[in-house]
Amino acid sequence: MCRPTYFDVTYSINVWMDPSRPTSARTGQEQWKGLHDTFSTLGHRVELIEPVPGLPDMVFSANGATVVDGRALVARFRDRQRADESAAYLDWFRAAGWSEVCQAEYVNEGEGDFLFTGTEILAGTGFRSDQRAHDEVRDFFGRPVVSLRLVDPRFYHLDTALSHLGDGEIMYYPGAFSKESRSILSERFPNAILADESDAAVFGLNAVSDGKNVLLPQAATGLAARLRDRGYTPVGADLTELLKAGGSVKCCTLELRE
């Protein structure tokens, strides 16, 4: 995770970002700390990367890399406003002793678009990560990759429209995907939890699951009820200030799979 020390919305690279709308770094930091402390309370170890002045979106650490089997493929961002984040993540992984660290050749926005299910990697494209990055991820990790196309600009990263819950179970918003991708998801995950538009629009799918507890925006009440019905424990989080930049629970969380 990365503290939102420099959080602000001074440019727009997604439909959620409006530089004319007031933001509060203090509120963002308080909400982020609530998420951080919740992870710790649930027994998870949280590593921190230092925020860099001039990189307000660095709080969205999920975009920094994809980490599977002890290997880290660091992001290559589409937008110049975030490009310098890659160097910070490369330095962090190398300083922390990770031996297999590489920066992606093609535009690849980390766990924003690449979600590991335990066996395969679900890969998003359409707005950010390059389609060619899907092959690069498959070759780097030696894992099957399933390509999915996003079509609604509100859900510009895969992790805004789909979340892996554990044991091959997912939840997603069908309206975010192309017809072909909806067919792929329906065939591969016939028992998936389907979110309605109201829960998706508050970033309810931008969630993190440890297989038991699912941390998600507290406004996604419908999804929380469906998760309870499936035996999960939903844990609500308030990250409404960070949503002004187009991110929530998962965006703030890069999973380190050693």
Write out the H or E segment, with its range, that includes residue 63. Answer: none
- Position of tokens 């998936």? 192
252 an active-site residue?
Answer: no
Of residues 132, 124, 137, the one with CA closest to residue 172: 124
d(CA 99, CA 111) in angstroms, rounded, equals 20
Catalytic-labelled residue, pool 2, 134, 164, 251: 251
d(CA 35, CA 57) in angstroms, rounded, equals 17
d(CA 253, CA 7) in angstroms, rounded, equals 16
Which two three-digit tokens encode residue 35?
């998420």
164 an active-site residue?
Answer: no
Longest dimension (CA), the chain: 45
Catalytic-labelled residue, pool 2, 134, 157, 252: 157
Chain centre to alpha carbon of residue 6: 20
Q: C-alpha distances in angstroms, 33 versus 37, 93, 239?
A: 6, 23, 10
Count Cα neighbours of 5 within 13 Å in the Cβ-side half-sphere. 11
**DSSP 3-state helix, strand, coil percentages of the chain (rounded to 5)?**
35, 20, 45
Q: Which residues are catalytic?
A: 157, 251
